[in-house]
Amino acid sequence: MHLGSFEEKRRRLVEKLEREGYIRSERVKKAMLRVPRELFVPEELRHMAYEDTPLPIGHGQTISAPHMVAMMTELAELEPGMRVLEVGAGSGYHAAVIAEVVAPSGLPRDQWGHVYTVERVPELAEYARRNLERAGYADRVTVIVGDGSKGYPPAAPYDRIIVTAAAPEIPGPLIEQLKPGGRMVIPVGDRYMQYLYVVDKLPDGRIKTRSVTPCLFVPLIGEHGWREYEY
Ligand code: SAM
């Protein structure tokens, strides 16, 4: 692999995220080293795939910045074998990173977990599906078209829920679909002020929330999110 190749750029980005404290575990590091982000961005932006910045993916949406993917994945404390719901598939990149942790390429398939990712824009769901297939994640990630603010009841309950669009408040159905002992990572707020929250459902069913950092996401549009006109 010659210097400046995607693989080399990926390695340098991962090292930078590690130095900056966004990547803290071997698991997340390995996952981000494996998933080719260049396959999840539009062709004409591939040269920017390893800049630490969000990039447009069409329909007014973005693929999140790598440091945000790293931070949310670390906060989720994923383990191999877990069942995860992602709300907001977008490009499919974050779902692939999650899949690399819960169903790592080296692990026997019968020990794999699974990622369900919901996307409200049908064209983006198709885009995510294509990207995931090309990158080799089709059998570890299921892409669903729909309103993820309602969760995805057919595969519930989930060990982890990761929401990649900002909600006005923590959607009730997502709390319901979390296993006792489960965790959700979710941005909450409006276009001016958002915070990333970690929501733990304790084994006895009580809910504990803490805000971690200010952040900036596109809105979660849906029944338990924003109405398009009010955002
Ligand atoms: N995780 C994505 C990735 O790796 O590319 C980035 C997601 S982007 C920041 C947020 C996505 O959430 C957008 O694609 C948007 O269409 C989607 N979205 C917004 N509201 C939604 C809802 N209620 N249900 C499902 N997806 C939603």
Nearest to 87 by CA among 77, 95, 79: 95
Q: Is 121 in the pocket of ligand 1 (CB under 6 A)?
A: yes
Distance 7 CA to ligand 1 centre (A): 27
Domains of the chain in sequence order: 6-230 (3.40.50.150)
The neighbouring-strand residues paired with 226 are 221
Residue given tokens 């990622």 in the structure block: 115
Of all protein residues, the one whose alpha carbon is nearest to atom 14 of ligand 1 is 90
Structure tokens of 57?
């993916």
DSSP string, 52-99: SS-EEEETTEEEPPHHHHHHHHHHHT--TT-EEEEE--TTSHHHHHHH
pLDDT (tens place) for every residue of the chain, 231 residues total? 444 699 999 999 999 999 999 999 999 999 999 999 999 999 999 999 999 999 999 999 999 999 999 999 999 999 999 999 999 999 999 999 999 999 998 899 999 999 999 999 999 999 999 999 999 999 999 999 999 999 999 999 999 999 999 999 999 999 999 999 999 999 999 989 999 999 999 999 999 999 999 999 999 999 999 998 776
Q: Is 25 in the pocket of ligand 1 (CB under 6 A)?
A: no
Of all protein residues, the one whose alpha carbon is nearest to atom 12 of ligand 1 is 88
Nearest to 62 by CA among 211, 166, 185: 166
Q: Is 220 in the pocket of ligand 1 (CB under 6 A)?
A: yes
CB atoms within 10 A of CB 24: 14
The pLDDT of residue 171 is: 98
Whether 64 is catalytic: yes
Among 5, 64, 105, 211, the active-site one is: 64
Q: Is 119 in the pocket of ligand 1 (CB under 6 A)?
A: yes
The pLDDT of residue 229 is: 74
